[in-house]
Amino acid sequence: MESAAPVRFAEVARMLAAATRARGLQAPSFRSPPRIAGACRSIRWYPGGAVVAVQLRGRRFEGVQSDMVEGVIVANRLEGQAADRLRAALAAALSVHDRDRPSTAAA
C-alpha cells in the first residue's frame, strides 16, 4: 500500500461529498478504519446522516474508492437504476479526479 493513502482517502472523500451534494443527495462522512474487526466497509446511522468507515491498510486504493462509492449509495438508500446512475456519475468524477491528480511516481 502506498504511504499517501490517507491523504488520497481525504481527497476522494471531499470529491465524493461535493459530487453527491451536487446531485441533491446527502453526503455521508468518511472515516477509517471500520470499528468492526475484519470489515472492509461499515456504515453507522445517525439522526443527521451516516458515517461510512473504510479499511485502508493492506488494500489497493481502487477497492477503497469502490467501497466509498458504495457507501454513498447505501447512505442514500438508493437501489436499482438510481443506484446505477449515481455509481456511474461518481465513478466518472473519480476518473476525472485521478486523471487530474499529479503523478506520485519518482522521476
At 106, the pLDDT band (50, 70, 90 cuts) reads very low
Q: Is it the case that residue 73 has pLDDT exceeding 60?
A: yes
CA dist 28 and 73 (Å) reads: 10
Q: Give me 20's grid cell.
A: 453527491
pLDDT at 5 over 70: yes
Look at 1 and 97; give whichever has higher pLDDT: 97
pLDDT digits (tens, 9 = 90+) for 30-66: 999 999 998 999 999 999 899 999 999 999 999 999 9
pLDDT of residue 28: 97
pLDDT of residue 95: 87
pLDDT tens digits for 76-93?
A: 999 999 999 999 999 999
Compute the distance between CA of residue 107 and CA of residue 91 in angstroms, rounded to an integer.
28
pTM score, whole prediction: 0.85
Q: What cell does 35 get?
A: 470499528
